A and B are shown apart, each in its own frame.
Chain A
């Protein structure tokens, strides 16, 4: 078992399992930084997984399919923002509504588009290709882990850096953090909090759409009903454990990737019943959440001198 775990293949599996969660985690970071919990990530992942399959098959190009999917993801973010910010809908209930619509809507759209029930077996979609970067693949071990990964996996790692720079080194990023930190203070220096939150939710939707596209065009090569299976929710947990920072989010996402990859290996070795192994990522999240917040609480108490 240890031999299987220490192989580059295993680390590759971790990265593959991390990719969709990482995109969604970054999406959750941006939204949370602007002061809004984006629980609709689950629905956006699911919608994007379907749209990725549909549009890549229509355009015969994974890139065009990805672009259209990301635009639609942004639109869903926009819809969420409209309801939350303009119509003053509770953000959790609005998200639940979007998630419900996604569960039913994807099945309905798939049926209307191709006549498939639940699995897109008759759609000839185009998956994102894998990518080997010269020089990097020469590095021992790390090169073996990274080379041949899907282009979206690479992109997710790049996105961490981009989002970090965006949030901490650009004026817009500063505005987003300011609005999330204290809406009134931000308003008082002339930042329109509504505009900023709109932008944050649209970015959040776009990022989640990358993750959704990867699910059906990278991780797997087709759409299946409910294929997001709680990854959007895990991302919420990951982002909040990572302190809503991109770097922290990456580390926690990797932890979940590790849990899923471990589950895969354990399944092959049949050391434990299958159902118990499936619990591993969720249990890891739950325990991690408890430990993280407990540490935070202790830290706060220490600082306030109790």
Chain B
């Protein structure tokens, strides 16, 4: 491993440690039982099988949206519509899963529909950018709200069960994804998520199109002069990213966690995905690890919130600090410089011996 890469890892670990430390300080300020709170936050998820299951099940949506955002951001498109794509994916999967009850087929149809809708959704800002040059970041922020209210409209007027309050008709049992581990809610979606992360890595790092995509992301002018079609790269990257995010929404909806569509607000997985993407340095292969970390932190926090007086929201602060430090290029840059200089000196010495 080169020292630059080693440094990157060190910095990530250190950022996480500092963020946790700041969170502990905040806990000390706001809580009457700080030590207990910190204990639950850190080792709570290990307390029983169900909690460990919770960690794994909450990794699943994070891996999907994280991989989707890795693909979109790799082309340097700051498309934040993953949030909406996830929501729409869940909505469409519900529409299919309420009405179909063919074993084996109906989850596949539902998930496929979710992916396609997600892809079309994230393509909107991309197409707008290509046709009108409107900034994709701003337009993607706006369409997320459209997804939310469209979802609410469908929920209240089309698929809403009059017998339940703000919930759709129940999903058919045949459409739901099977549970893999007894006594937990870890479901088939986990395998799909890992497969998606690996496929995402293969696409970005082992195919010609993925290479073109990353080149475009790194230097658009260079890519254009090399004969890469920028329009094609932008459209494909946003379609694929959105497909993965939408698929994630579908998988989450068909998981044993839900039996009806109840999302009356955006769940925030699109924003979480940006943390995952930052921690995994835009490489989908690392998204499961980043997702594991985040899922662990959240499960710990929810146990803490249930047992002590500290609220769940402390995790959002921790996440914010982690992003700030991980992406702060100059953070520890002096040390990085020393590290690289030392390595270069060592190389020079070796050459001198030869």
Q: Are A293 and B329 in contact (CB under 8 A)?
A: no
- Judging by beta carbons under 8 Å apart, are B311 and A111 in contact? yes
Q: How many A-B residue pairs have CB under 8 A?
A: 146
Chain B positions within 8 Å of A53 at CB level: none
Chain B residues near A292 (CB-CB < 8 A)? 134
B146 near A93 with CB under 8 A, answer no
Stretch of A142-150, A198-206, A271-279 contacting B (4+ beta carbons < 8 Å): A271-279
Whether A97 pairs with B321 at a CB distance below 8 angstroms is yes
Shortest CB distance A7–B (Å)? 27
**A233→B142 contact, CB < 8 A:** yes
What residues of chain A lie closer than 8 Å to B335, measured between beta carbons? none
Contact yes or no, A89 B320, CB < 8 A = no
A293 touches B316 (CB 8 A): no
Interface residues of B in 116-171 (CB under 8 A from A): 128, 131-135, 137-139, 141-143, 145-146, 149-150, 152-153, 156-157
- Assembly CA distance A74 to B149 (angstroms): 33
Task: Pick the contact of A275: B30, B152, B275, B278 (CB < 8 A).
Answer: B152
Known A236-B138, A236-B141, A286-B142; judge A101-B321 contact (CB<8 A).
Answer: yes
**Nearest CB in chain B to that of A233: its residue:** B141
Evaluate contact between A101 and B149: CB separation under 8 angstroms: no
B317 at the interface (CB under 8 A from A): yes
B343 at the interface (CB under 8 A from A): no
Q: Are B146 and A283 in touch, CB under 8 angstroms?
A: yes
Determine, out of A80-88, A122-130, A172-180, A185-193, the stretch whose residues face the partner at the interface. A80-88
Q: How many residues on chain B are close to A (CB under 8 Å)?
A: 44
Task: Report how far A273 CA is from B158 CA in the complex, Å.
Answer: 12
Residue of B whose beta carbon sits closest to that of A86: B330
Interface: B25 (CB within 8 A): no
Instruction: Please report the C-alpha to C-alpha distance between residue A92 and residue B329 in the assembled complex, in whole angstroms.
Output: 14
Interface band, chain A:
35 or more
Assuming the contacts A87-B330, A88-B329, A293-B132, asked whether A275 and B316 have C-beta atoms less than 8 A apart, the reply is no
Whether the pair B149, A276 counts as a contact (CB closer than 8 A) is yes
Give the complex CA separation of A273 and B151 in angstroms. Answer: 13
- B285: interface (CB < 8 Å): no
At the interface, yes or no: A240 with Cβ under 8 Å from chain B?
Answer: yes
Given the interface pairs A87-B331, A88-B329, A275-B152, the reply to whether A108 lies near B320 with Cβ below 8 Å is no
A269 at the binding interface (Cβ < 8 Å): no
**A289, B138: Cβ atoms closer than 8 Å:** yes
Q: Which residue of A lies closest to B154 (CB)?
A: A275
Residues of chain B within 8 A of A86, CB atoms compared: 330
Point out the residues of chain B lying under 8 angstroms from A155, CB to CB.
none
Does any Cβ of A come within 8 Å of B319's Cβ?
A: yes
Q: Is B78 an interface residue (CB 8 A)?
A: yes
Q: Which of B152, B314, B323 has the most CB of A within 10 A?
A: B323
Cβ < 8 Å to A, chain B residues 76-112: 78
> Do B134 and A293 touch across chains, with their CB atoms under 8 A apart?
yes
CA–CA, A34 to B270, complex, Å?
29
- For the complex, what is the distance from the CA of A292 to the CA of B278, rounded to whole Å? 32
- A275 x B327 contact (CB < 8 A): no
A-facing mask of B181-224, CB < 8 A → 1, else 0?
00000000000000000000000000000000000000000000
- The answer to the question of A112 belonging to the interface, with a C-beta cut-off of 8 Å to chain B, is yes
What are 6 pairs between A and B in contact, CB < 8 Å?
A89-B327, A92-B78, A97-B327, A98-B324, A104-B316, A104-B317
